[in-house]
Chain A
């Protein structure tokens, strides 16, 4: 008989195995996470119910007809992959039974899974029914007097694995040493940005990575140790902090360096277009324009998307971004159209994975996307000249 903590530990481990398993297609994992959250996150179940999603029906042909490339057919959920232990029963996930009313959600594509407005993290504590004490708590910065979002992290190992594996898909960690310049964020002990960078720093085997002191100006000599070890510099910073550095005379970074801006332009100064921001950062740090990269993440997410120089963000395989019709967020917009950014972050399995953000985005055919600032709710009101031609 397993103890409660052993059961929980195995449960977390099984989800980690499943989420990062490259052999399980995203759709199958997403449906698995969806069903798990409907069962264990009451507010999400309620939202799906009010939307009219038939949560009681499960397709009889689950496990038999699924094709992950065909979004119209049923999923072949395998309860032995990842989600095989339910801590509330100790005996695996039991799909709820009941009469069929509409096609089960498992018959849809993963994009049909409802996304819940991100404000829910601000207004309620999202906690699955099996969680007593989270291992970490992330809080948004709560700028402009707004209330903070709270995101409880049930399994810190899963969070860290998501950060490291995600980072590793876009960069070779052995090549880089991280330096982070994060004024403002150090005031927030629950910052997810600090947690992500701290994870990268702690797992740098060279020991060269660290946070830069905020009470001293930055000098070229701050990077001497990295140069001596023939490593490349990866300088992280929120947009406003990096711009402050540039304005006060940033040091020229050595060849091969990369600057990663993590958003946050609007917090302290006038917002400037992304292109201009990256141009000014490239000039300020004396690096090529394509050496200015960005990271897209937030307190409500356990995973990050990366723009490693192309100007477009790409996701690790357990994170999927979609662009949603702001008026009907259940509907996807086609590539090239601007809308609300929708997130399916499977590493959020123990909170809420399916989130409608308030960010404005546009996607290319290949699934890469750009973040174009905040979506203005009032966009569809008033006169609006459109670039039709």
Chain B
């Protein structure tokens, strides 16, 4: 079902060449991305660091093994449905966090042919990598374009994309119209929007006793990074914090830390000078809230998940469970420090440092492609 070690080696070679700036591709892409105002230098730098750290032959091999084992367990006795001769169309979003890169690698590992619709809002970074991957795997890396019409009549067998629930219907309709999707095509749409952090009483105590800045490692920095990285917009970014205390109890340390981050790494999307509409509303309604640059922290759950808003909810593990159930497919991950919960959780420190085999929407894309 999945490809050999040779395939993995070639993927890693291409990634290494990309990170090594072969033919100047990475540097050009990075410059264009930043000069076009698509992402900030520090976010691009962070993403590349994560690629270098996570896209290794060892990590990919482990992912393949894990997916293969899982696939074998799920499909014992069933005829293998290899996807070697299949076309996979990846519709890449314009966000930096690495769903796009993961989809490409998973497609190549599955042995299928890759076709990619790159986002016009983020066309440069993946383009360079794809050129190098095509050199290594010319039979698998077929086409990529920022124009969806270029995939007319592709009749792809599998479609990968990430979008809001509202976008599912128009996207699929357009793909049918163009016959970019085959009649029996299977779609994997990832709709997760944000993540939740759960802090214990001990964590809160630690937060209270921290001061912001470089001298403050650990939980405070992990939380700030989880909230602010990629301008707080990634599905792995924390939009909800559940803790056994009120926001005002930790505001003394948390707010300055968030402010320091924004000062150091100004957000690209916060260019509006006027007072925030939503902050004005919260003030009018006498709700507790704090502003940290473009970010509003509030206990008002009406604004849960809203961009630039972090909801701080006083509660316990049961509260986390309730929010998770209410928000449903909008939640990507639940992060904890070291507290067990009756839910699948990840370490808060890994929020913006996911491994190559992380599961957007809880789905192992490699296993899905191979099934």
Residues of A bordering B, CB below 8 Å: 43, 46-47, 50-52, 116-117, 119-120, 123-124, 273, 327-330, 360, 372-373, 376-389
Q: Contact between A50 and B193 (Cβ–Cβ < 8 Å)?
A: no
* Bound: A384/B239 CA distance, A: 17
Q: Contact between B146 and A388 (Cβ–Cβ < 8 Å)?
A: yes
Q: Specify the chain B residue showing the minimal Cβ separation from A116.
A: B281
Chain A neighbourhood of B237, CB < 8 A: 381
Q: Contact between A383 and B163 (Cβ–Cβ < 8 Å)?
A: yes
Q: Which of B22-30, B45-53, B165-173, B259-267 contacts A (4 or more CB under 8 A)?
A: B165-173
| B171 in complex: contacting residue of A52, A120, A378, A387, CB < 8 Å | A387
User: A47-B284, A52-B274, A385-B161 are known contacts. Are A360 and B235 too (CB-CB below 8 A)?
Assistant: no
At the interface, yes or no: B94 with Cβ under 8 Å from chain A? yes
By CB atoms of chain A within 10 A, which of B146, B165, B277 has the most?
Answer: B277
* Bound: A299/B304 CA distance, A: 24
Chain B residues bordering chain A, tally (CB within 8 A): 57
* A305 to B: closest C-beta gap in Å: 21
Q: Specify the chain B residue showing the minimal Cβ separation from A358.
A: B302
* A45 to B: closest C-beta gap in Å: 10
Q: Contact between A377 and B272 (Cβ–Cβ < 8 Å)?
A: no
| B95 in complex: contacting residue of A46, A124, A327, A382, CB < 8 Å | A382
| B169 in complex: contacting residue of A50, A119, A273, CB < 8 Å | A273
At the interface, yes or no: B79 with Cβ under 8 Å from chain A? no
| Top 4 closest pairs, chain A to chain B, by CB | A378-B305, A383-B162, A382-B235, A383-B93
Chain B neighbourhood of A383, CB < 8 A: 93, 95, 97, 99-100, 162-163, 190, 234-235, 360
Which chain B residues in 246-292 approach chain A with CB under 8 Å?
Answer: 272, 274-275, 277, 280-281, 283-285
Q: Contact between A385 and B193 (Cβ–Cβ < 8 Å)?
A: no
User: Besides the contacts A51-B277, A117-B281, A377-B304, what 13 more A-B pairs have beta carbons closer than 8 Å?
Assistant: A43-B284, A50-B280, A119-B302, A124-B285, A372-B166, A377-B303, A381-B307, A382-B194, A383-B99, A384-B95, A384-B162, A385-B162, A386-B163
Chain A neighbourhood of B284, CB < 8 A: 43, 46-47, 50
At the interface, yes or no: B202 with Cβ under 8 Å from chain A? no
Q: Specify the chain A residue showing the minimal Cβ separation from B169.
A: A273
* A336 to B: closest C-beta gap in Å: 13
Q: Contact between B93 and A360 (Cβ–Cβ < 8 Å)?
A: no
Chain B neighbourhood of A381, CB < 8 A: 193-194, 232-235, 237, 239, 305, 307
Chain B neighbourhood of A119, CB < 8 A: 302
Chain A neighbourhood of B166, CB < 8 A: 360, 372-373, 376, 379
B140-179 CB mask vs A (1 if < 8 Å, else 0) is 0000001111000000000001111111011100100000
* B303 to A: closest C-beta gap in Å: 7
Which chain B residues in 86-127 approach chain A with CB under 8 Å?
Answer: 91-95, 97, 99-100, 117, 119-121
* A372 to B: closest C-beta gap in Å: 7
Q: Contact between A382 and B121 (Cβ–Cβ < 8 Å)?
A: no
A-B contact pairs, 16 of them (CB 8 A): A46-B284, A51-B280, A52-B274, A119-B302, A330-B274, A381-B193, A381-B194, A382-B235, A383-B93, A383-B234, A384-B93, A386-B119, A386-B121, A387-B167, A388-B148, A389-B147
Q: Contact between A123 and B285 (Cβ–Cβ < 8 Å)?
A: yes
| B91 in complex: contacting residue of A116, A273, A360, A385, CB < 8 Å | A385
At the interface, yes or no: B308 with Cβ under 8 Å from chain A? yes
At the interface, yes or no: B306 with Cβ under 8 Å from chain A? yes
Q: Specify the chain A residue showing the minimal Cβ separation from B274.
A: A52
Q: Contact between B92 and A385 (Cβ–Cβ < 8 Å)?
A: yes
Q: Contact between B305 and A328 (Cβ–Cβ < 8 Å)?
A: no
At the interface, yes or no: B336 with Cβ under 8 Å from chain A? no
B332-359 CB mask vs A (1 if < 8 Å, else 0) is 1000000000000000000000000000
* Bound: A378/B332 CA distance, A: 12
Chain A neighbourhood of B170, CB < 8 A: 387
Chain A neighbourhood of B367, CB < 8 A: none
| B148 in complex: contacting residue of A46, A50, A387, CB < 8 Å | A387
| A47 in complex: contacting residue of B146, B191, B233, B281, CB < 8 Å | B281
User: A376-B164, A377-B304, A388-B119 are known contacts. Are A382 and B280 too (CB-CB below 8 A)?
Assistant: no
Q: Specify the chain A residue showing the minimal Cβ separation from B97.
A: A383
Q: Contact between A387 and B174 (Cβ–Cβ < 8 Å)?
A: yes
At the interface, yes or no: B330 with Cβ under 8 Å from chain A? yes
Chain A neighbourhood of B133, CB < 8 A: none
* B137 to A: closest C-beta gap in Å: 24
* B308 to A: closest C-beta gap in Å: 7
* A362 to B: closest C-beta gap in Å: 11
* A380 to B: closest C-beta gap in Å: 4
At the interface, yes or no: B297 with Cβ under 8 Å from chain A? no
Chain A neighbourhood of B283, CB < 8 A: 50
Q: Specify the chain B residue showing the minimal Cβ separation from A51.
A: B280
* B95 to A: closest C-beta gap in Å: 5
Chain A neighbourhood of B330, CB < 8 A: 376, 378
* Bound: A328/B274 CA distance, A: 10
Q: Contact between A382 and B193 (Cβ–Cβ < 8 Å)?
A: yes
* A186 to B: closest C-beta gap in Å: 29
At the interface, yes or no: B60 with Cβ under 8 Å from chain A? no
* Bound: A47/B280 CA distance, A: 7
* Bound: A253/B163 CA distance, A: 41
